[in-house]
Amino acid sequence: MTKKHVLVTGASGFIGQVLVERLLDAGYSVRAATRGPTPFSNSVDVAIIPDLINAVDWKPALAGVNFVIHLAGLAHTDASHTSSNAFDAVNRMATQNLARAASEAGVERFIFISSVRAQAGPSATHTVCEADDARPTNDYGRSKLAAESAVRASGVPFTILRPVAVYGPHPKGNIETLVRLAIMPFPLPIGGLASRRSLLGIDNFVSAILFVLNNPATTNETYLIADSTHFRVSEIFAMLRKAQGRQPRLINFPSILLYFAFILLNRRRHWRRLGEDMVVDTSKLQALGWRAPIDTYDGIVAMMQAESTEGSRQA
């Protein structure tokens, strides 16, 4: 059987590097779109693509491609120092141009990696599902939602994935902050936090991408992606410390006092990520047969082991 060819944008990133290796393991031929040389396997065809804030001629990179997995873009971690115009240019316009080019090239499917932030803010008072009205609260989320609309309008068959916060070796953004806090040697006053969060292990995310890639029933659909189980924030910190071989050492400090402390310190934005709920319903994709293959705690152990190994190398 002839190999299917997959173009992966953002291939050198946190998720992209893992995805490229799993695609190769699954028997796909991979073309990795990156901004500079990256040490991939010799079997990977590398396409050097300039910064997406500028116009890109996608025709050479799309030649002979069956599927596109579009990971590249500005992340929400860049929101504090990135203009709305930059988010629009990179996350919406570049996605629109690539999707249109993919449609013209006859690509079988365009898998767009969006974000839960295209649908909601950093917290939600109810369990979020795909049928909810999309109400992003920042430039990053709005640019991702606009990019989704551009993909739908392009004419290319598509699947849109909206992952929650992704954890894995050398994490970024909010997960990196949680890891740094958990590594600290002193007790944390968060034992009483009842806020619940959905998380997504990088191996589970890649599993979901491969699942939709191989499942035509996911064409022209949008899915929220998360691990099978959500946890209280206090449970997440307990797992992070247990994965280090430590006791949780979490103090049951009243949540209302923590809230006022965050407000007084002008950290309302951080409180929403720590003290409020963000739980998503993944039953839509699960109804087709997808299951997260890795238990959350096992994924956290792997992440913390990677952090420990990196720390040992730096020492």
Cα separation, 143 vs 95, in Å, equals: 10
> Domain range spanning residue 141?
5-168+198-226
Cα separation, 32 vs 16, in Å, equals: 9
Residue 218 included in any domain? yes
Burial of 51 per CB tally in 10 Å (0-12, 13-18, 19+): exposed
In the predicted structure, residue 313 carries a pLDDT above the cut 80: no
Tens digits of per-residue pLDDT, 231-248? 999 999 999 999 999 999
Which CATH number is 34's domain given?
A: 3.40.50.720
Span of 63-67, 133-137, 159-163, 303-307 with lowest mean pLDDT: 303-307
Which residue matches tokens 């115009």?
A: 85
Closest to 125 in 3D by CA, of 195, 226, 228:
195
pTM: 0.93
Tokens coding 224 = 């929220």
pLDDT given for residue 306 in this prediction: 85
Confidence band for 38, pLDDT divided at 50, 70 and 90: confident
Tens digits of per-residue pLDDT, 163-197? 999 999 988 888 888 899 899 999 999 998 889 99
Tens digits of per-residue pLDDT, 233-289? 999 999 999 999 999 999 998 888 888 988 998 888 888 888 999 999 999 999 999
Residue 87 included in any domain? yes
CA dist list (Å): 87 to 78, 90, 114, 135? 9, 5, 13, 17
Residue 257 included in any domain? no
In the predicted structure, residue 64 carries a pLDDT above the cut 90: yes
Residue 297 included in any domain? no
- For the chain, what is the domain count? 1
Residue 58 included in any domain? yes
Of residues 311 and 139, which shows the higher confidence score?
139
Residue 140 included in any domain? yes
Average pLDDT over residues 43-61: 90
Average pLDDT over residues 134-151: 96
Tens digits of per-residue pLDDT, 82-95? 788 999 999 999 99
**What DSSP assignment string belongs to 264-288?**
HTT-HHHHHHHTS-B-B--HHHHTT
In the predicted structure, residue 211 carries a pLDDT above the cut 60: yes
Residue 259 included in any domain? no
CB 69 within 8 A of CB 209: yes
Residue 289 included in any domain? no
